[in-house]
Amino acid sequence: MNGRAIDLPKPYAASARPVRRLQSAWMPRVLLPLLLPVLLLGGAEMAVRAGWLPANLMPPPSEVAATLAWLAHNGLAGHLGASTLRVALGFLGGAGAAMVLGALVALDRRAAHLLDPSLQALRAIPSLAWVPLLLLWFGIDELPKLILIGIGAFFPVYTGVVSGFAGVDRKLVEVGLLYRLPKPALVRRVLLPAALPSILTGMRNGLALAWMFMVAAELIAASRGLGYLLSDGRETSRADIVLAAIVLLALLGKLSDMAIVALERRLLAWRDSHDGGSA
């Protein structure tokens, strides 16, 4: 066999018709996901205007949009900023602790025996059950909110880290041992990259739960944030404000999820996985 270059297999070669491929990819990726929301919003608008739904309980989407526009000039940025900051800080704390403890449990048998049974027992507690205790201990300031969000983010990330390390192919570890990698290098060069898909899935789930727990925390006690808007809308019987806050939560949740998916795509480009069309 000589050393000549060989063409890459066809599936990985550049497409002969990139423009056509782009057009055909654009349609399902951009337009298709919008179809259902547009239909639902249009249907809701029609149903309310036709009097099939009571406007005081289910304001039409156009009114929700007008409320959003009004809120934009009346403190919406502060609410968005407060909620986003809480999620960011709570998630960083919870996910960071989960990474450290998860790696410790996954890589050290004694740490696993010491920590994992207790953490699994704590995981079994519905996270909202912590709320009364957190309020008793820390009052209604920022700290209990951040801790609650952190608890919400902790367990999915912890599970992702532990199962990711545990699921690393023994044969790849053997290659690392064959080439005399010391333990820190084995973790950095073999275990961590191999566990990354599971860790990122854990982070994605953890971030979704962080948003959920942020709402719970703000519903209980807050003077700013989207949870506060929800609570305020309910107390003043303003369903348009409640719906506006829900729309914003959906948008923020989706945006943060898209950020993790983009990170996943970038870090896991090496994966030879089936792309079934799911984001």
Partner 1 sequence: MRLLDIEVDDKRYGARTVLSGLRIGLARGEIVSLLGASGCGKSTLLAIAAGLDRTARASVRLGGRSLAGPDAGIGFVFQEPRLFPWLTVAQNIGFGAAGARPEAVAALLEEVGLAGYGEALPKQLSGGQAQRVAIARGLVSQPQVLLLDEPFSAVDAITRMKLQDLLARVAAERGLALLLVTHDIDEALYLSDRVVLLDRQPGPPRTELALPLARPRRRGDAQAGAWKAELLRLLDAGVAV
> Both tokens of residue 224?
């700013």
Binding string, 10-29, against partner 1, x = CB under 8 A?
Answer: --x-----------------
Residue from the set 223, 272, 277, 278 that interacts with partner 1 by CB under 8 A: 272
Residue from the set 9, 18, 126, 184 that interacts with partner 1 by CB under 8 A: 9
User: Using N-to-C axis directions, what is the helix angle for 239-267 and 192-220, rounded to 10°?
Assistant: 170
Shortest CB 164 distance to partner 1, Å: 13
113 binds partner 1 (CB under 8 A): no
Residue from the set 38, 55, 114, 172 that interacts with partner 1 by CB under 8 A: 172
**Cα–Cα distance, 66 to 64 (Å, whole number):** 5
> Both tokens of residue 59?
């304001």
166 binds partner 1 (CB under 8 A): no
167 binds partner 1 (CB under 8 A): no
CA distances to 53, 76, 137 from 61, rounded to whole Å, are 12, 18, 42
Identify which of residues 1 and 36 has a Cβ nearer to partner 1 in the complex: 1
Residue from the set 177, 251, 263, 279 that interacts with partner 1 by CB under 8 A: 177
265 binds partner 1 (CB under 8 A): no
Residue from the set 147, 151, 157, 190 that interacts with partner 1 by CB under 8 A: 190
171 binds partner 1 (CB under 8 A): yes
Angle at alpha carbon of residue 92, lines to 107 and 101, rounded to 5° = 20
Shortest CB 103 distance to partner 1, Å: 18
Contact between residue 111 and residue 105 where contact means Cβ atoms under 8 Å apart: yes
270 binds partner 1 (CB under 8 A): yes
**Cα–Cα distance, 78 to 101 (Å, whole number):** 34
276 binds partner 1 (CB under 8 A): no
Give the closest residue to 200 by CA, choosing from 146, 261, 147. Answer: 261
What does the binding site for partner 1 look like in residue numbers (CB under 8 A)? 1-6, 8-9, 12, 171-172, 174-175, 177-180, 189-190, 193-194, 196, 270-272
